Amino acid sequence: MSSLSVLPPECLLQPFPVPQRLMLGPGPSNVPARIAAAGAQPMLGHLHTETIEIMNQIKSGIQYAFQTRNRVTLAVSGPGHAAMECAIFNSLEPGESILIAVNGIWGERAAEIAERIGTDSVFTRKPGTKIYKVVFFFTHGESSTGVVHPIDGIGDLCHKYKCLFLVDSVAALGGTPIFMDEQGIDIMYTGSQKVLNAPPGTAPISFSERACQKIFNRRTKPISYFLDLNWLANYWGCDDKPVRVYHHTGPVSSFYGLRESLAILAETGLENSWKRHKEVAEYFHKGLEEMGLKLFVQDKKARLPTVTTIVAPPGYDWREITGYIMKTYNIEISGGLGPSAGMVLRVGLMGCNSSKANVDKVLEALAEALKHCHKSRV
């Protein structure tokens, strides 16, 4: 007779087979065998010499992917949101202001994060008090609407007004050009689970000297201990201190995977990767239009090559379409998010998933879905 009142759950006593699925939503993307195998290598201590060497290689890989020479370049242990909070929590102190360009969910989220630390993003002040804007937040690839924003010129403008330029490139990095140093970006982050094709859970981020000047001379400590850049910079060997001090136990296996994904990007070459994503996206867009579907972003140059938004076909329930494609083809595509919810279907073609063969598969699945799903006549 067991003394335990809660018994081992029956569900955990059976194996759980995970299906193979073609992940063509806005992320996570499929993880190639090489990256999965890297993640399955033996466990090491998070401060062992080899782990530190892997972290150093990750830093170099991020510098290449971001086109930056920033010393403070690392991967946050967490998803894209962790990097978002790391960027905002470190660069702003309570009472300071952030200017946010909002044309999709990511600007909205940034505003919500900033608000939580008593930062002003709406720019209302009592008459007679001054507004200081210290950070400008901009989303490079708006995955909720499928828009890629041009970055040129904004960095100079920000610096002219003593403002840091913060860019979210979670959904775009590696799939479309960005040059952190040349474009005057002060803080930029991405996620592991999109073009990089690593599992979700690590988020590359980089800080310019200008950003570090502000961050390392704060009056107050950042609200988050876990995301405090003083600690993270030391853990990643980006400060001048001779030893790395224990801050948290880094996700060692995820670092193996991230290293491998950055190695694949380095072997492929950024320019080749950008070119392939562009060509595959254009091939997809042409196929969609030939089927009579409409792209949500009308300006061709503003279409994000990694995540395509398709106007939800009139008369259909978009959920039935995504459900049919999942059930019949084992392909994930998704609906809209935030402001685009109910308005679009979203298809991600990122990293290893960016291929004409995948486009053909998803076009066929969409055509069949439109034949088989219910269409209202009203």
CB of 260 to ligand PMP, least distance (A): 19
276 annotated as ligand-binding? no
Report yes or no: 78 and 203 within 8 Å, Cβ to Cβ.
yes
In the region spanning residues 225 to 254, those forming contacts with ligand PMP, defined by CB under 6 A, are: none
Angle, helices 356-372 vs 270-290, to 10°: value is 30
Q: What's the sign of the alpha-carbon dihedral 198, 40, 20, 338?
A: negative
Return the number of the residue (109 or 214) whose C-beta is nearest ligand PMP. Answer: 109
Closer Cβ to ligand PMP, 151 or 369, answer by number: 151
**Between residue 189 and residue 208, which ones bind ligand PMP under the rule CB under 6 A?**
191, 193, 200
- Tell me the longest C-alpha to C-alpha distance in the chain: 74
Element (H, E) at 344: strand 344-348
Q: Under 8 Å CB-to-CB from 163, ≥6 apart: which residues?
A: 99, 133, 134, 135, 136
Angle between helices 252-268 and 270-290 (to 10 degrees): 80
Which two structure tokens, joined as six digits, stand for 165? 């330029």
Give the nearer residue to ligand PMP in terms of CB position, either 61 or 141: 141
Tally the C-alpha atoms within 13 A of residue 337's C-alpha that lie toward its C-beta. Answer: 22
Residue 158 lies near ligand PMP (rule: CB under 6 A): no
Please report whether residue 335 would count as binding ligand PMP according to CB under 6 A. no
Q: Is 168 helix (H, G, I), strand (E, B) or coil?
A: strand
* Chain position whose Cβ is nearest to ligand PMP: 80
Number of residues forming the site for ligand PMP (CB under 6 A): 16
Taking CB under 6 A as the criterion, the residue among 168, 228, 260, 332 binding ligand PMP is 168
Q: Which of 57, 64, 81, 103 binds ligand PMP (CB under 6 A)?
A: 81
Told to check if 26 binds ligand PMP by CB under 6 A, we report: yes
> Could you identify the residue written with the tokens 């200081």?
132
Kindly tell me which of 61 and 79 has the beta carbon lying closer to ligand PMP: 79
Q: Is 99 helix (H, G, I), strand (E, B) or coil?
A: strand
Q: Which of residues 94-153 bind ligand PMP (CB under 6 A)?
A: 106, 139, 141, 143
Binding-site residue numbers for substrate are 346
Contacts to ligand PMP by CB under 6 A: 26-27, 79-81, 84, 106, 139, 141, 143, 168, 170-171, 191, 193, 200
